[in-house]
A and B are shown apart, each in its own frame.
Chain A
């Protein structure tokens, strides 16, 4: 025990000082204030953690600083909002989206076909490009004739802000779905699927022949049929599906929204790694520039679709009760009336922001931790962080694990965005500020340490919220009459200051490994 303490003396001393500061900060305010501030800190910390942990997993294993991670967080939020508030748009996009993905689900079959055909020379090089171009032409031709109810950005009455407000008031009326006019739905479906199949096969032709013994499992076909089937169903049952989604309980819709955001994030991450990041592993600087560029592109795409206004995603029914029995004073009331707030020690605590989000953060923390510690995949990730070449020498396809981890990391960020949409709201800049927070949290906790990401995020969240609270109530400076009120610019500055102090004491962060 003594040895453990001696070994990490600086760490223990740092934690001790942090605890002392926390106790001092807590003593300066009423109990209700500090409980609420603590919970708010944990809430911000949990969202930061979702971004930071994905970032740290990706950096640890792939050595990629994914500066587009904040944008992924933002995209997660917008996707969740769209599913939740505009299910018609979601359904409209679901069909073409799934049909476009379906062709790539057959990658196993494509690989086997590639091994089977023998072509050489110019044709071998030209064929994949020709295939891709053909696919692109088909998809563009079909897609622009697809009727998709995207709101008219110019018309304020239909803007996201209004829809959010109406959804929150329970007055949401969705515009009529547009009918197919220029092409028949069947032609559209066949066109998109053909484009996707051609593109999938062409992409596979880019790969070198591996001579490996390829088996195509039934799962590969099953995946294709499932995706294609759901896509077709979404296409032909469009209005019915929209009506169904508008009709179901908002809790389920919220769940579906979060699930869609995470799936979209995973898909986006997988595509991003396998097409853009992978060719640049030998050029880290280019990779960095690429992720910065992608981040900017992502922001512009979001602006083009959803516009610039800031808006808030309404909370699901489970967390938005305000009527009789609210704010809840007992757990039974909370369960019965689904109150949005509970009353505790004379203060009001928002259930979604201050309880639900930290709980989800904790669940994710434990789930990913178990995945890392208990599963074969986790074993490979932990080993790969240290020595990817050796893992490969054991006969493990590390590149596939890279794609998986990248997809998982982006999925976590998208989850963070979806969860933050009802509490922090949506805006074009939400990603950048959160990424900065996450980077500071990682520097504090240790760049590639998973528990470090959690600790750093919590510290950043707590510090910010306590500074914000003291901005309102003021800190009396001892032996003087002065009451110091931290101004808003001091909020981000305080976390940077904490980072500087900790890095001076422990250059690898609190839980980082010594190099």
Chain B
């Protein structure tokens, strides 16, 4: 299977703090890979380093056969990476429709994709004129994912999609993400191991800024010792 994203031993600093001290991961085309690990392990920073929002000082990120070192983050994103950040980062002053339109990379992206998007998230169509500030947490999460779908993205980086959502909504979100992985590749950061284990085929565990273990999710599920040691879950 082809590797779409190859992260090789990256080291990232935020200010003077050495946050990532050697993270490596390979993401096969068309799969869902979950980044696991405790709070503060460096999962979100890994996603931001891939996008160049916090550019790595050492190591390199290869996306679609292209070395991303030294590229600016908007150029990286324009190569076809969609980002759904932690806490959604919906633009509050923009309407739902504007939140989608702003993600257009080519003119007409939104019109072309709107049927697909509203098919996935029928609720958004109803809320189209509402401003982002007036959406509930679940609606914001849907909008954040929908926004990443407007442009043609080969890779989706999704950070904590289940955070703060009611169980019913989590289930809905999981359905959407697994449908997405049919067409694009997904890297998922997820605290909720139950959610991650059901969605992802592959996993990478990050501990104190290093990638310590990776492999197939179906192997991890039965490896209670690893789960207990790195994730603290039973």
Contact = CB atoms under 8 A, between A and B. Distances in A.
Interface of A: 208-212, 376, 379-380, 382-383, 385-387, 389-398
B105 A395 contact: yes
A393 B44 CA distance: 14
Q: Report the interface size class on chain B.
A: 20 to 34
Nearest to A282: B15
Nearest to B144: A390
B70 A393 contact: no
Contacts of B103: 394
A211 B70 contact: yes
Contacts of A393: 51, 53, 73-74, 77, 83, 85
Interface of B, helix, strand, loop or mixed by DSSP: loop
A391 B102 contact: yes
Nearest to B101: A379
Nearest to A390: B89
Contacts of B73: 392-393
A210 B71 contact: yes
Contacts of B92: 386
A382 B71 contact: no
Contacts of A380: 102
A212 B71 contact: yes
Contacts of A208: 70
A382 B89 CA distance: 13
Contact of B70 (A209, A379, A382, A394): A209
B75 interface: yes
26 contacts: A209-B70, A210-B70, A210-B71, A211-B71, A376-B101, A382-B94, A383-B91, A383-B94, A385-B93, A386-B92, A387-B89, A387-B91, A390-B91, A392-B73, A392-B77, A393-B53, A393-B74, A394-B74, A394-B77, A394-B102, A394-B103, A395-B77, A395-B105, A396-B74, A397-B74, A398-B74
Nearest to A208: B70
A503 to B, nearest CB: 23
Contacts of A394: 74, 77, 83, 102-103, 105, 147, 151
B163 interface: no
Nearest 4 interchain pairs by C-beta:
A395-B77, A395-B78, A383-B91, A393-B83
Contacts of B75: 210-212, 395
Contacts of A386: 91-93
B98 A379 contact: yes
Interface string B55-95: 00000000000000011111101100001010001011110
A191 B234 CA distance: 77
A379 B71 contact: no
Nearest to B105: A395
A259 to B, nearest CB: 31
A50 B12 CA distance: 43
A389 B48 CA distance: 10
A212 B79 CA distance: 10
B96 to A, nearest CB: 13
Contacts of B105: 394-395
Nearest to A391: B102
A389 B77 contact: no
Interface string B23-66: 00000000000000000000000000001010000000000000
A383 B102 contact: yes
Contacts of B91: 382-383, 386-387, 390
A379 B74 contact: no
Contacts of A389: 53, 89
Contact of B93 (A210, A211, A383, A392): A383
A513 to B, nearest CB: 9
A103 B97 CA distance: 41
A107 B102 CA distance: 26
B32 to A, nearest CB: 20
A386 to B, nearest CB: 6
Best-surrounded residue of A380, A389, A395 (most CB of chain B within 10 A): A395
Contact of B102 (A210, A379, A397): A379
B151 A395 contact: yes
A393 B86 CA distance: 13
A211 B73 CA distance: 12
B77 A210 contact: no
A394 B151 CA distance: 9
A343 B166 CA distance: 69
Given A391-B102, A392-B77, A210 B72 contact: yes
A210 B105 CA distance: 19
B108 to A, nearest CB: 13
A380 B102 CA distance: 7
Contacts of B78: 395
Best-surrounded residue of B72, B85, B103 (most CB of chain A within 10 A): B72
A211 to B, nearest CB: 6
B62 to A, nearest CB: 13
A382 B74 contact: no
Contacts of A379: 94, 98, 101-102
Contacts of A391: 102
Contacts of B89: 387, 389-390
Nearest to A372: B93
Best-surrounded residue of A376, A391, A393 (most CB of chain B within 10 A): A393
Nearest to B51: A393
Contacts of A387: 89, 91
B190 to A, nearest CB: 19
A78 to B, nearest CB: 37
A385 B53 CA distance: 17
Nearest to B72: A210
Contacts of B71: 210-212
